[in-house]
Structure 1
């Protein structure tokens, strides 16, 4: 089948939703479908058989787009819609597949073309307003809630990345086929044993040093302030322990440095800034434990799936954002308070046998529930639901 895909993101960039989109396209083309992707003017092209990329025009004065809601996206999405309409009118498509708010134009185009629409729901749009700290914009949340309902009602199938989003979709439309496809493939590779030694050497960490590792963005919802406060408690009891933080843009890292200095733990926290995706497995191998302090939202962090594959013990907040995937068998879950997180981290440092057992169970979970085979099977099910009763278009654009 020939699919028109709409992605209001900078494709490709090494971050959450673009990673998910890449692996969705890879799975679709592996199953024999072809994809015309309409996306933002930013990002690098990727070479996948069966994929063509069509970029919208770049608005004057806009050179990049950040994560989450922003006014920058308004002109970008308007130009994205123009490009999507042009593609819809010039090709023959069997379905429209839209990511995030791209479903707003996607459901309209699908109706005009007389083909089914699939909404790829990476997050709840109104929830993003609070997750990214826009609590003073109730009108924006109302608008996004209306748009989200419209996209769900206008879709034959909805793909969601976690069970909580399936509940959200079914609360809008009880009969909607909501297929849960976790972002496991896009989370990164598992580490090679021993690869972390070079990381420890580069960071000046001895083999016996207890290391907690965080990887990811520095956005508000990630809970890094909670992590720093927890590390201040850990430092008082285990002054030799270190927290390594991988990620963040330079201004965010500088602000974080000032924050830990104010807490008196500058010597205990190492900021590496953003590192290439291929280096992250070695950082995981260098760690004693992996931490995810996310304190708001309900989406499962992308990093969790790579954490699971690493076989290292995970310390995470005991919130639905994590417990949709993690349990007390596969992670050390703690209340979202500095005291509870600190106790959990110290507990892992002090009990290597328990830490090893938790890490082993996590790796087994990744190998069974979040494998490549499981991902492909779930993608195939979504396609079967989408194309049930659909005849192939008599004419398709050639894939070049």
Structure 2
């Protein structure tokens, strides 16, 4: 498995990679994961983590395209080639994430083994989402790379309907398996201190309304929108607190200063271990996802559905390919609309309970762990089937082959 990410860190693609690996090793597969030198090890049976060399002064990897990723991808490429070509192991398949699919396709052909491309996002779209570059030449290069990875793979896993539609439009829908990240940011449950204790730890009272945001602080996540909406919401729900879980120290410091200046009731925890997140969910009254761009479904949405808390989210494709008006309050991406949606679920507890119950039913019906495991097995059955020799068709005696000519 080729993973051009810091593994493990509690953010989108590494979470997805973790649950892919967990499903595979539970099914008896052995996985050699070749990844960046950054991240913490995880203890799973039949998993061997092989890391590339760490360059001096590189201690973190920003989300999205960056110069740091270019450097780390070059080093990762060398490590992958050493492991695959000189390491002495014989592999049954290659499973590549994100941009390493380019190398994965080539390497699969070189070794004569099937390749699976795990498509977490559209690479050309990332240029816009992360404001990395407006270069038409670079976008063209990303489009070509994406086409090479999708069309050159025996199986493509997509993580949302938008990407599944993209693969179908590229003409290889028969090789695509949609596996939503239904495990989200889920981790194995650990005993928690309890709702009141979590609130007390962050200066919150047992009775005040609390809205929870969890995730990164990238621009597309809509933290600016949440800040402005919280100021308006405070006028409707005076004792409100918005608990914000995530962000590195610099990001938290910058946003906290702006929140204080604006009078926004935001309480920042910074980055917390994944095992803490369910306890923050237990301590809140509503969950919010204020994304303003992108089309991939946030991983947290799947765990939000099972949380027993009402969800308020922006009415964009990133959310609506999973959420409906029956399972969440969907609002336009404006401060007034987001504030009104949050006020609705905080002030009408019966309606909020109905939404939460409907969301849980949706999770059970369409986004269960069993569905995730079943589709993973389906993808791998398709992958291994792709390399089995196909029986030759022998013409019946006296029959002319296609084209009407007699056999020579």
Give the structure-1-normalised TM-score. Answer: 0.92
RMSD: 1.9
Q: Does 1:27 align with 2:23?
A: yes
Which residue in the other structure is 2:398 paired with?
none
> Does residue 46 of structure 1 match 2:46?
no
Aligned to 1:142: 140
Residue 227 of structure 1 is matched in structure 2 by 226
Hey, what does 2:266 align to over in structure 1?
269
Q: Does the Cα contact within 8 Å between 2:211 and 2:241 map onto a contact in 1?
A: yes
When Rg is computed on C-alpha atoms for both structures, the one with the higher figure is: 2
The question of whether the paired residues in 2 share the 8 Å contact of 1:103 and 1:119 is answered with: yes
Query: Residues 73-103 of structure 1, C-alpha deviation per residue, up to 9 Å, x if partnerless?
Result: 1121111111111222232122111000010
Matching residue within 294, 305, 309 for 2:306: 309
User: Which of 290, 296, 318 in structure 2 is aligned with 1:293?
Assistant: 290
Partner of 2:194 in structure 1? 195
TM-score (norm 2): 0.90
CA separation of 1:305/1:191 partners in 2, compared to 1, >3 Å: closer, same or farther? farther
For residue 72 of structure 1, give the secondary structure of its aligned residue in structure 2.
helix
- Superposition map of 1:209-228 within 5 A: 209-228=208-227
Instruction: Select between 199-208 and 78-87 the one with higher mean Cα deviation.
Output: 199-208
Within 2, Cα distance between the matches of 1:258 and 1:146? Answer: 42
Unmatched tracts of structure 2, length 5 or more: 390-408
Q: Deviations over 1:349-400 (max 9, x none)?
A: 11100001101111222233222211110101101111115369xxxxxxxx
1:345 aligns with 2:339: no
Q: Runs (4+) of structure 1 moved beyond 6 Å?
A: 190-194
3-state SS of the aligned residue for 1:251? helix
| Alpha carbons 1:192, 1:281 under 8 Å: kept | no
Paired residue total: 386
Is the Cα–Cα contact under 8 Å of residues 152 and 173 in structure 1 kept in the other structure? Answer: no
TM alignment of 1:344-383, pairs within 5 A: 344-383=341-380
Q: How many angstroms apart in 1 are the aligned matches of 2:261 and 2:97?
A: 41
Partner of 1:260: 259
Q: Which has the higher contact order (CA 8 A, sep 6+)?
A: 1
Of the three residues 87, 95, 98, the one matched with 1:97 is 95
Contact 1:191 1:282 in 2 (8 A): no
2:292 is aligned with 1:323: no
- Counterpart in 2 of 1:398? none
Shift of 1:258: 2.1
Secondary structure class of the residue paired with 1:185: coil
Give the stretch that moved more between structures: 343-352 or 361-370: 361-370
